[in-house]
Amino acid sequence: MTYSLAIHGGAGTILKSRLTPEREAAYHAGLQAALAAGAAVLRADGRALDAVTAAVCVLEDDPLFNAGRGAVFTSAGAQEMDAAVMDGRDRRAGAVAGIFGPKNPVLLARAVMERTGHVCLIGPNALELARAAGLAFEDPEYFFTEARWQSLQKVLALAAEGRVSDDPAQRHGTVGAVARDRAGDLAAATSTGGMTGKAPGRVGDTPMIGAGTFADNATCAVSGTGHGEVFIRWTAAAEIAARMRHRGDSLEAAANAVVMDELAAVDGSGGVIAVDRDGTIAMPFNCEGMYRGWVREGSAAETAIYADAR
């Protein structure tokens, strides 16, 4: 069997007019680096779970993407991060919500899965687990980026006038990865800083298993990005798997039905990346763009932002 890997760095109305060629190149480079990290694991006969973790770590470390370093700010000016992983072999899952401190939230989500009998941890005890697991911590200066801070000021200024930003891409963002390894196992990982100006304590779809993150060898692995509240209410990721299992839909048909029909009908702006047990990749999104990349064994890694390229 051959491996497949897909990643995303967030979806939204990414306005081409605001993206300089330099910045666009930086996004492509960041996506390529994440693909390379994940593909290296898979090429060495590594597990899908390790590949998606490795890819998401690279995106968390890149300040261009809204996760880990470069996460957005809450309305109170803090950074609160959510992350999740899921292993398609046995549907084991781990998640954290509202954390700040660990360099790579996705590694803490994985520690919850591997070191506790629980799926989701929040609060000080999650950070204690990170310390017990020997995970790296970083100072607030590490996570801070001027661009995200300015986005918050803009959102707060507009909110004071009772308005919302005309550029959702400034507000949203998530990173994620899905993979099938050479053993045929699937896995998914997602990590995010949430929405700029979100209420402190808001938990989005990322750590909600079945909403923004899902993996089951019987069907597919999915990572979502977009308007989290709608993804939660429509259990977006699990719904793609359910359509495959109960209707016999192909991955592409199932992912398109959920993203292009169900979510779009209720203003659920966003997209997903998904891979099935045959290694097929689907990456539908119902907005102007989604930072994304994909690689299948034997083919070159590709990246794209807008709808024109797949």
- Our finding on whether 226 is near its own copies (CB under 8 A) is no
Q: Which listed residue (16, 159, 201, 261) binds its own copies by CB under 8 A? A: 201
| Window of 8-16, 35-43, 111-119, 173-181 that interacts with its own copies by CB under 8 A | 111-119
**Which is nearer to its own copies, 2 or 13 (by Cβ)?**
13
Contacts of 98 (CB under 8 A, 6+ apart): 80, 81, 82, 122, 123, 201, 203
Pairing of strands 175-180, 4-12: antiparallel
**Which is nearer to its own copies, 107 or 108 (by Cβ)?**
108
Is residue 53 part of the annotated active site? The answer reads no
- Our finding on whether 140 is near its own copies (CB under 8 A) is no
Q: Which listed residue (1, 199, 265, 307) binds its own copies by CB under 8 A? A: 199
- Our finding on whether 124 is near its own copies (CB under 8 A) is yes
- Of the candidates 53, 174, 206, 225, the residue annotated as catalytic is 174
Binding track, positions 25-64, relative to its own copies; x by CB under 8 A: ----------------------------------------
- Our finding on whether 89 is near its own copies (CB under 8 A) is no
- Cα-Cα-Cα-Cα dihedral of 149, 155, 159, 165, to 10°? 180
For residue 121, report the phi and psi dihedrals to the nearest 5 degrees: -125, 145
Do 82 and 91 meet the contact criterion of CB atoms below 8 Å apart? no
Question: SS3 sequence, 240-286?
Answer: HHHHHHHHCCCHHHHHHHHHHHHHHHCCCCEEEEEEECCCCEECCEC
Do 273 and 7 meet the contact criterion of CB atoms below 8 Å apart? yes
| Window of 6-14, 59-67, 143-151, 229-237 that interacts with its own copies by CB under 8 A | 229-237
CA separation (Å) from 87 to 49, 51, 84, 271, 288? 6, 11, 10, 21, 30
- Footprint of its own copies (CB under 8 A): 86, 91-93, 97-98, 116-126, 198-204, 208-211, 214, 228-229, 232-235, 238-239, 242-243, 246-247
Active site amino acids:
174
